[in-house]
Amino acid sequence: MAPLEITLIVAATRRMGIGLHGTMPWTGLRKEMAYFRRVTTRTLASSGSPPNAVIMGRKTWDSIPPQFRPLKDRLNIVITRSAPAQPPSDAPATQPVRVSTLDQALAYAREHGIARVFVIGGAQIYDMAAQKATRVLLTRIERDFECDTFFPIKLEGTQSAGWTKRSRDDVRAWTGEDIEEDGQVENDTKYHFEMWERD
Ligand code: NDP
């Protein structure tokens, strides 16, 4: 069986800041959140296919308001050191699957026929997935916010390890989203949707 492709999805400032005090550094980017929801939910096949998987660290899970979790219409997998020894064969829809390694998360997704796997943060789990990831969907936030948590992968510059920014058409084709050339502005905050892939 072909290995699952892993896509990281993240919103980050120019300095690659992603979090502050256990939550997002910004508020009110509703269209950005809607993009995240659509892209992580949209499956490859039209109907009858299993949902996509979203893999996250326990702290990111905790940061989601209880009324919005598990993230609906997606298989939620949480990485934590306090996971049961064996993930359940079928998790109840109201609970995430808890595992202690990324490999267990991927094995679970594979066993359940999942086609698209997204790693949705935070920094510790992006770092864990860095070597295996083939794609990063980056929302580039063009404003400085105070941050204490940073995206750990260098996509550009001298320390980058073979990542290439794809065209807007490529982003459209992969995400199914109509990406505006000049980006979006919400709450005085400008941002762009980008896609980076390994060479
Ligand atoms: P994470 O969400 O990456 O979760 C960390 C937890 O993951 C650890 O406490 C541990 O859970 C588990 N974990 C980490 N390493 C391992 C390991 N080797 N084995 C097993 N379990 C492990 O936390 P971060 O603090 O890095 O990121 C959270 C921040 O990121 C928040 O501010 C959040 O809002 C932000 N964020 C921002 C995003 C963005 O797009 N801007 C996206 C996602 C998050 P346990 O302690 O239970 O053992």
- CATH for 161: 3.40.430.10
- Residues 164-186, mean pLDDT to the nearest whole number: 95
pLDDT of 1 above 70: no
Q: Supply the range of the domain harboring residue 10.
A: 6-198
What is the token pair recorded at 56? 């996250």
Residue 1 within a domain:
no
Q: Pick from 170, 194, 192: which is nearest to 182 by CA?
A: 192
Does residue 92 have a pLDDT over 90?
no
| Residue to probe by mutation, ligand 1, list 124, 132, 136, 141, most atoms within 8 Å of CB | 124
Work out the average pLDDT over 38-47.
Answer: 86
Evaluate: CB of 11 within 6 angstroms of ligand 1: yes
How many domains is the chain partitioned into structurally? 1
At 2, the pLDDT band (50, 70, 90 cuts) reads: low
60 touches ligand 1 (CB under 6 Å)? yes
In testing the pocket of ligand 1, which one of 9, 37, 62, 80 has its CB within 8 Å of the most ligand atoms?
A: 80
From residue 18, alpha-carbon distances to 4, 125, 143 in Å are: 25, 13, 12
Give the pLDDT band (50/70/90) at residue 52: very high
| Residue in 9, 1, 2 with CA at minimum distance from that of residue 117 | 9
